[in-house]
A and B are shown apart, each in its own frame.
Chain A
Amino acid sequence: MPVKPSPIVRDPAVLSDGDLWIRLRERDMASLEALYARYGSYVYALAMRMLGRSEEAEEVVQDVFWQLWKNESEYDPARAAFRTWLFAITRSRCLDRLRRHRSRSDSELPRGSGLGSAVPDPEQEAILAERQKHVVAAFQALPEPQQRVLEMGFFNGLTHREIAERLGEPLGTVKSRIKMGMDKLKDSLRSFEES
């Protein structure tokens, strides 16, 4: 792939995700650096929460941003926000690793320290920080059983059958809780977007 020199950029950190993405497609390393500065901590935090091991979380961060650098053309801005796509890739990498581990040892779930509300630099990441606060609030507003099944599915990578087995609950109950939790989460986050 031909490589273009980076154009003069006064401050890529202030560019939108979409603008950075366009520059990244032209192999602009400054844009990758800006995206890493903006999302590196979120990608690492998600990997840590899912995998529970810093060495593996670090590998995931490297894998994900390397993929950005190598496979720019996969992201379709018409279908999802860049952030959504980036987190989906991160989670997919973590799930691959979790399932690989599970085939070796099924004894223990990696556990994080629960939900957090740390606020990143407000100047550069005010929107993300606001969104994060709302996501945490929306999640914590769910009834505990619904939080639990979503957490086990999203962060621990368990299937609905595995969740049912571990909780000792009927499969139908787990399915209903996932559906209800998801619906409430969607409503809550949509109301935030509309406000």
Chain B
Amino acid sequence: MAVKQGHEEYLELVAIEALGALDGEDRLTLEAHLASGCKICRDAIFDSEKVLADLALAAPLAAPPDSVRERLFERVRRDSPVRPVRPGREETSSVPSRLLMTLAAAATLAAVGLGLYARTLQQRADNERIAREASERELGSLTETLEAFTAPTTRAVSLSGQGDAQGAAARAFLDPENRRLFLYVYNLPPPPPGRTYQLWLIVGGAPVSMGTFGVEPDGRGRLDTASIPTFEGEVTVAVTVEPSGGVPQPTGPMVLVGS
């Protein structure tokens, strides 16, 4: 492609890229230009993406059914050993809080020592109950994961580190029957500021995003998704470094890959 004076033609491609609609030769052209270190175009993409995100507000407003919220927070509750806290109701509707207040009042009237002892017992009982509920949720989650790992159709894929992440490794477990994928990452350094890791499933040469993830300071990371596409035959699992929020197609360097 002939390059016009200045950035005019690149900025046309930048607008299309921000829209997520750039492909083919034009995409390669822009990628090559960006790889040359053009800060103007990189900033322009970022700037345009910010404007475009608000186009989401132009969609006709519609509330999701209550069941969506219920399923989501049930899943969150299973993931968290703390009980849900509803906005604005913490101070008035908590049964343990009322009980504690009652015990405290009784203790004041009766004897300070007895009251303190009662409150200690109550606190201990609360702590034990919370810990037991957390253990039960954790056990349920582990059982679910173990069932997926041991299913006859589950495949295990080892991923090895690439480029600057040579020391990294990962294991992916694909459960096509339940469309689940579990990824466990080790020794992967945190992504640069404004970047994230994105997982791809490559079937028949076409990459499909499986979501983004971060890593802990010790280099460990985990991703669990329940929406992998149906596939047969060979599959490749890869991780790339991408802008925060992820991208529709891989653009950044590959840090982990395995088949």
Residue of A nearest to B52 (CB): A154
Which of A32, A71, A114, A139 neighbours the largest number of chain B CB atoms within 10 Å of its CB? A71
Is the beta-carbon distance between A44 and B85 smaller than 8 angstroms? no
Interface residue? B37 (CB, 8 A)? no
The answer to the question of B2 belonging to the interface, with a C-beta cut-off of 8 Å to chain A, is no
From residue B173, how far is it (CB to closest CB) to chain A in Å? 17
Interface string of B84-108 (1 = CB under 8 A from A): 1111101100000000000000000
Q: Contact: A67 with B11, CB < 8 Å?
A: no
Chain B residues within an 8 Å CB radius of A27: 80, 82
Q: Knowing A96-B208, A116-B59 touch, does A36 contact B12 (C-beta < 8 A)?
A: no
Write the B199-220 contact mask toward A (1 if CB under 8 angstroms, else 0).
0000000101101111010000
Name the residue of chain A whose CB is nearest to the CB of B65.
A58
A20-56 CB contacts (< 8 Å) to partner B: 27-30, 32-34, 36-37, 40-46, 48-50, 54
Interchain CB contact under 8 A, A67 and B212: yes
Cα–Cα distance between A83 and B8 once the two chains are bound (Å)? 30
Cβ–Cβ contact A62 & B68, under 8 A: yes
> Of residues 144 to 180 in A, which have CB atoms within 8 Å of B's CB atoms?
150, 153-155, 157-161, 163, 175-176, 178-179
Q: Does A113 contact B (CB under 8 A)?
A: yes
Interface flag for B22 (CB, 8 Å): yes
Residues of A near B21 (CB, < 8 A) are: 153, 158-160, 163, 178
Contact A157 B64 (CB under 8 A): no
Interface 0/1 of B30-52, CB less than 8 Å to A: 00000000000000001111111
Q: Which residues of A contact B91 (CB under 8 A)?
A: 8, 10
Q: Is the CB of A131 within 8 A of B49?
A: no
In chain A, residues 102-158, which have Cβ atoms closer than 8 Å to a Cβ of chain B? Answer: 103, 112-116, 118-120, 128, 131-132, 135-136, 139, 150, 153-155, 157-158
Complex contacts, B60 vs chain A, CB 8 Å:
45, 48-49, 112-116, 118
Please tell me if B128 contacts chain A, counting CB pairs below 8 Å.
Answer: no
B53 at the A interface (CB under 8 A)? yes
Range, interface on chain A: 35 or more
What's the nearest-Cβ distance from chain B to residue A84, in Å?
4
In the complex, are the beta carbons of A139 and B58 less than 8 A apart?
Answer: yes
CA distance A85 to B21 in the complex (A): 18
With CB as the reference atom, state the residue of chain A lying closest to B210.
A96
- The complex places the Cα of A74 from the Cα of B109 at a distance, in Å, of 52
B58 touches A120 (CB 8 A): no
Q: Which of the residues B15, B75, B81 comes within 8 Å of A3, measured between beta carbons?
A: B81
Residue of A nearest to B20 (CB): A95
In the complex, are the beta carbons of A66 and B75 less than 8 A apart? yes
- Tell me, in angstroms, the Cα distance from A66 to B60 when the chains sit together: 23
Bound-complex Cα distance A166 to B104 (A): 73
Instruction: Choose from B68, B214, B247 the contact partner of A74 (Cβ within 8 Å).
Output: B214
15 pairs from A and B in contact (CB 8 Å cutoff):
A8-B90, A46-B59, A48-B62, A58-B65, A58-B67, A71-B212, A81-B50, A113-B60, A115-B58, A118-B61, A132-B58, A132-B61, A153-B21, A160-B26, A175-B13
Q: What are the 4 tightest A-B residue pairs by CB atom distance, in nearest-first order?
A: A116-B60, A49-B59, A118-B61, A153-B21
Knowing that A42-B61, A65-B72 are A-B contacts, what are 7 other residue pairs whose CB atoms are under 8 Å apart, sorted by A's residue number?
A28-B85, A30-B84, A42-B56, A59-B227, A91-B53, A139-B58, A175-B16
Chain B: residues with CB nearer than 8 A to chain A? 11-13, 15-16, 18-24, 26, 46-65, 67-69, 71-73, 75-77, 79-82, 84-88, 90-91, 193-194, 196, 206, 208-209, 211-214, 216, 227, 229, 244-248
